[in-house]
A and B are shown apart, each in its own frame.
Chain A
Amino acid sequence: MNIIEIKNLKFTYDNKEVILDDVSLEIKKGSYTTIIGHNGSGKSTLARLIAGLLDKSGGDIWVNGLLLKEENLKHIRKEIGIVFQNPDNQFIGSSVKDDIAFGLENKCINPKEMDDIIFKYASRVGMENFLDKEPHLLSGGQKQRVAIASVLAINPSIIIFDEATSMLDPKGKKEIKDLIKNLHKDSDKTIISITHDIEEAYHSDYIYVLNKGKIFKKGKPNEIFNNSKELNNIKLDVPFNVKIKEELEKNKIKIESYNSVEEIVENLCRLKLKN
């Protein structure tokens, strides 16, 4: 079942430059979908449109079978959480617990129940020992964890990550990526990840490639990355393992599987043993 359906979506800020042009896509419930594309291709705009933060110029968006329009906006917002790129600018409360509480306050949750909910989701992201900390005492990665907890606390069925790891150091990046992966595994939430991280895209369920406001390509990772030239033309890279595979094929070497660099190394060693 598709939790999000978009038909012929159009968007423009000023009626001149078209930012999104005739975008149609479907996202399966419970899937991990990535959206990749060069800077300025319209990824963030698409995310904002889905979450109802921008008004579309044309086309239709359905979320959970509900058409996105003014009357349904409040309901749809509850279904969708977004984690943005900048860790500082999405930290609304003055401390970790106040930040998680913000969404709960908007949902009119009874203040007496809030402490339990806050603790539950702070623990989910490993921030339960920092509840009273102010944002300027936290690392970027920790702030992104709090942002994730704040979004989880609203209990949306869809979470959009708009380059949530791109401003973090390598360690923070890995931590947040693992957190998102576990989140997807342990819950039935639908994950949409906008990313420049090709490896992350390679391990997702489905990929949409956006280029200049249009869907350039869509499909399973293997289908997307089987042609590196095509992607290089729109300034996108392919994962390292796919590059090795292409080079091996050029040299007429065939191996069984190439899902990760480790697998390739192992397969190559076996090949050597056989010969």
Chain B
Amino acid sequence: MNNFTIGKYLPLDSFVHKLDPRTKIIMLLLIMGAVFIKSGWIGYFIILGFIALSLILSKIKISYVLNAFKPLIMMMVFLIVINVLVIKEGNLIFSYGFIKIYDKAILDTLYISVRLLIMISASTILTMSSNPLDLTVGIEKLLKPLGRFNFPYEDVAMMISIALRFIPTIIEETQKIMNAQRSRGVDYEEGKIKEKIQAVLSLIVPLFSTSLNMAEDLASAMEARGYIPQEPRTRYRDLKYNIKDYIVFLIGVLLVVLLVWVSYYAI
């Protein structure tokens, strides 16, 4: 259970926590888009400043956000190394055997790293400051216009909320099965590759069968409590925009306008 804390909801009492989840999702999308406006380092500083401000307003400790990067470090290092080695533009600044590094490569890689930093920290702030249930309702409401094109937005939202509900149960189940198999002598930590594969199979097969049972039981329970897909139902958790959300939207629009202005006139 403990290794599942990345981006996990932190119930705090803050300005950002009290925002409507839809506002936060839209702001995240806005930032994701804004990252691609070619506004140079000035632009990135503006966006980073905005993220820093959201972090302060959310009362989330910066170390929590940094933790979210941990599992991604390997991937990022890999990306950076590949980038530095592959891009062959600009002036050659370092050469050792077949390794040739150009100044443009370093600059481009820096840009990409900053973009990743921005996107990951922005999404982490979103998930840490929003109750997953409200987030699901927010996603459902934002997807609602797609319903006109027969997009099953209600089903998608139901699927997300059920997945969220069952993640802890499945982790618990996994641990139970692992303990049961350990007591029968299965070793999950050491052994040859062949033994390791066998160990993993001894975990996956029962896990798969429990999950299927779980799904079947759950479907019965839902049906028995009157759930019929695609039939109208009310929602216990309802969302409402209030004045704070409008202010944040306004700031978001200003941010984009500023970045576009920078991209045209300041560089």
In the bound complex, do residue A93 and residue B165 qualify as a contact, i.e. CB atoms below 8 Å apart? yes
**Among A7-15, A84-92, A254-262, the stretch in contact with B:** A84-92
Inter-chain contacts of B165 with A (CB < 8 A):
91-94, 135
A158 to B221, CA, bound (A): 16
Q: With A89-B221, A90-B217, A154-B225 in contact, is A114–B236 under 8 Å at CB?
A: yes
A134 to B10, CA, bound (A): 14
**Among A23-31, A105-113, A236-244, the stretch in contact with B:** A105-113
In the bound complex, do residue B235 and residue A88 qualify as a contact, i.e. CB atoms below 8 Å apart? no
A97 to B223, CA, bound (A): 19
A103 to B224, CA, bound (A): 9
Residues of A in contact (CB 8 Å), total: 39
A51 at the binding interface (Cβ < 8 Å): yes
Specify the main secondary structure of chain B where it touches its partner.
Answer: helix
In the bound complex, do residue A106 and residue B225 qualify as a contact, i.e. CB atoms below 8 Å apart? yes
Q: With A89-B218, A94-B132, A111-B238 in contact, is A150–B169 under 8 Å at CB?
A: no
The one of A91, A107, A110 that contacts B226, using a Cβ cutoff of 8 Å: A107
B residues 158-174 in Cβ contact with A at 8 Å:
161-162, 164-165, 168-169, 172
Smallest Cβ-Cβ distance to B226: which chain A residue: A106
B147 at the binding interface (Cβ < 8 Å): no
- Most chain B C-beta atoms within 10 Å of own C-beta, residue among A48, A90, A114, A151: A90
A104 to B227, CA, bound (A): 10
In the bound complex, do residue A94 and residue B161 qualify as a contact, i.e. CB atoms below 8 Å apart? yes
The one of B162, B217, B232, B238 that contacts A108, using a Cβ cutoff of 8 Å: B232
B67 at the binding interface (Cβ < 8 Å): no
Inter-chain contacts of B217 with A (CB < 8 A):
84, 86, 89-90
B61 at the binding interface (Cβ < 8 Å): no
- What is the minimal beta-carbon distance from A198 to any residue of chain B, in angstroms? 26
Q: With A89-B213, A90-B218, A114-B236 in contact, is A102–B168 under 8 Å at CB?
A: no
Q: With A78-B226, A106-B228, A154-B226 in contact, is A98–B234 under 8 Å at CB?
A: no
A residues 125-153 in Cβ contact with B at 8 Å:
134-136, 150-151
The one of A108, A135, A154 that contacts B233, using a Cβ cutoff of 8 Å: A108
B residues 208-250 in Cβ contact with A at 8 Å:
213-214, 217-218, 220-228, 231-238
Smallest Cβ-Cβ distance to A73: which chain B residue: B228
A89 to B166, CA, bound (A): 9
B133 at the binding interface (Cβ < 8 Å): yes
In the bound complex, do residue B225 and residue A135 qualify as a contact, i.e. CB atoms below 8 Å apart? no
A51 to B222, CA, bound (A): 12
A81 to B226, CA, bound (A): 9
Of all A-B residue pairs in the complex, the 3 with the closest CB atoms, nearest first, are A89-B217, A101-B236, A106-B226
Can you list 7 contacts pairing A with B, beta carbon distance less than 8 Å? A74-B226, A80-B224, A92-B218, A92-B222, A101-B236, A111-B235, A136-B172
Name B's A-contacting residues (CB within 8 A): 1, 132-133, 161-162, 164-165, 168-169, 172, 213-214, 217-218, 220-228, 231-238
